[in-house]
Structure 1
Amino acid sequence: MKALVLLGLVTVASAKVFERCELARTLKAAGMDGFHGTKLADWVCLAKWESDYNTKKVKNLKDRNNSSLYGLFQLNSKLWCDDGQTHESKNACRVKCSALLSDNIQASIACAKKVVKGENGLRNWVDWRHHCEGRDIRKYVAGCGV
């Protein structure tokens, strides 16, 4: 009986980890290619370096600024979502952080679009600046038919 309960917990906690081309097709269908001047390869590169395409990734930043990063695009609870723990969250996307951990990535996409429309665009993401900006990122969508 304990094995059945444990199996149920593992199933609930499992994450959707996208394959590169699967994510590229999903993001293209959601209108991300060309959105606010961004290329599809930018989004796929961003997701690779932020979450390794994992929808359930959470990174705790409590030691730095008392916030956490959530989901595919690692959106910060201090600025973009409400995790119920981060004091003075701006929650600019008007979404619970837990919604950004869903295998249905529509909330993550909507929030990422809001971020990229802001003053710094994709530069809001440190990993995009370090791994994608100014580089040949065509490989992130190569062979995906998008």
Structure 2
Amino acid sequence: MQVSGSEVGKPRSKPLRKKMKALEWSVEVLKYLYHRKELRDFVRQDLVMDILKLKRIVEPMDQVTAPATVTNKLDAVTVLIRLLKKVGMISGSFKRDALFHLDLTVVQAASRDLFGKLKILVGEVSQIADPVSSPQIDAMVNLTLCICC
């Protein structure tokens, strides 16, 4: 039996993904794993997520609230970052110019897509309209971001 040069001297690596035993899986587990993979793929491939350079991606547990409809980029970015923070995803340092040069619809689409993927995994918080409060997004006081020039 011949062994190729690339196989000589290499230790066998353990598989990165866990193998599921036949008795451990169910349709619900498979659905959950599929949707979790879809979320990870979205975070890796979406332009806005790439700009935000997420440092920590945790398993979402809390139900999420649908992103508010806003009319300017600052509010759209605020909505997105709050959604990320709510589920424990922390953005790294990013170039603010790259984020704010995006079209408003691109940022809104990223928020909607992220919400859609999270909603499947953890559920949605039902919103009750409050006629007293303003629909405006309050200041970014509680957000902790490292923004590079």
Q: TM-score, normalised by structure 2?
A: 0.25
Q: TM-score, normalised by structure 1?
A: 0.25
- Structure number with the bigger relative contact order (C-alpha 8 A, sep ≥ 6) is 2
